[in-house]
Structure 1
Amino acid sequence: MIQIIRAKLHGMRVTDANLEYQGSITLDPELCERVGIYPLEFVDIWNKSNGARIQTYVILGEPGSRCCVLNGSAARHCQPGDKIIIAAREYVTRAELHDIKPKVLTFTKDNEIDQELYYDVYATEDREFNFRIMNGDNVVDFRESARKTAT
């Protein structure tokens, strides 16, 4: 078995940090449903603003709020306005890699969905494993995608 990314919220802005709460990250359930992240699921959080990398579990906030609230000790690593990546993982076999299509949402500065993408692992005659980012039926240029998410 290998561990892969299963779902990703890329470039969300932290809307609040609540040190006194017991722990977790509070997310808008509409966004979680769209990408396939579940309540109580452990997720990785990578802070693009300060480089912190932490893990916590998901609780659901108000639908439509676009909230992204770090709670408990996680609040020490992420502050309002920080740009973060939230990733869920899954164990799969090598054979399953071709069938899994991890969903990725990218965001505007107001946590509105900017792009709905997915990752695609595919085989060719020359290579068993190839990778591309897809937007619907269109291949996304890696460099263009990186420039867009840097803003």
Structure 2
Amino acid sequence: MDIEILKSKIHRISITEANLNYIGSITIDLDLMEAANIIANEKVQVVNVNNGSRIETYVIEGGRGTGVCCLNGPAARHGQEGDIVIVISYARMDFEKAKTFKPWIIFPTEGNKLAEINNG
């Protein structure tokens, strides 16, 4: 049996911009993407701590070290600059393997800079 479990999480990143007129997605700093083991075009859930909205979209690679976290297209309606969001990706895997799997979880600092990483 396969189940879906947490694969990666960027915990409490600040939205730096919202661009309604861009093709839908979320742009994230490449340093943060790599640390959280998230790749371009990967499906993610974005949970807004400020307003409670939850959306699914895909990731666009942002400039390395920029701290960018931009909601694009319709996603821009679900947050504004300064809101805090949690970006989550999931993976499907065998139930037994899932029992020992350790997700990539990162905790960006102020300015969305890479800080603590928790992988296992």
TM-score scaled to structure 1, two decimals?
Answer: 0.75
**How high is the sequence identity, in percent, across the aligned residues?**
39
Aligned match of 1:33:
34
Residue of structure 1 in register with 2:66 after alignment: 65
Question: Which aligned pairs between 1:34-53 and structure 2 lie closer than 5 A?
Answer: 34-53=35-54
Tell me the residue number matched to 1:111.
Answer: 112
Deviations 1:40-80 (A, max 9, x none): 01100000010000010001111110100000000000111
* Whole-angstrom distance in 2 between the partners of 1:102 and 1:28: 19
Q: Which has the higher contact order (CA 8 A, sep 6+)?
A: 2
Question: RMSD value over aligned CA atoms?
Answer: 1.1
Q: Which residue of 2 aligns with 1:55?
A: 56
- Structure 2 equivalent of residue 22 of structure 1: 23
Report deviation, 1:113: 2.7
More divergent stretch after superposition (99-108 vs 36-45): 99-108
**SS of alignment partner, residue 75 of structure 2:** helix
The amino acid across from 1:86 in the alignment is V
Alpha-carbon distance, 1:22 to partner: 1.0
Q: Does 1:94 align with 2:95?
A: yes
Distance 2:43 2:57 in 1: 5
> Shift of residue 13 of structure 1?
0.2
| 4+ runs deviating over 4 angstroms | none
- Give the TM-score normalised by structure 2: 0.94
Q: Which amino acid aligns with 1:83?
A: I
> How many residues in Structure 1 have an aligned counterpart in Structure 2?
119
Q: 2:30 corresponds to which letter in structure 1?
A: P
**Which structure: larger Rg?**
1
CA distance in 1, matches of 2:17, 2:30: 16
- Give the match's secondary structure for 1:84: strand
Residues in 1 aligned to 2:43 and 2:32: alpha-carbon distance in whole angstroms: 16
Residue 87 of structure 1, CA deviation: 0.5
Confirm or deny: 8 A CA contact 2:35 2:117 kept in the other structure.
no
| Code of the aligned partner of 2:5 | I
Structure 1: which amino acid aligns with 2:29? D
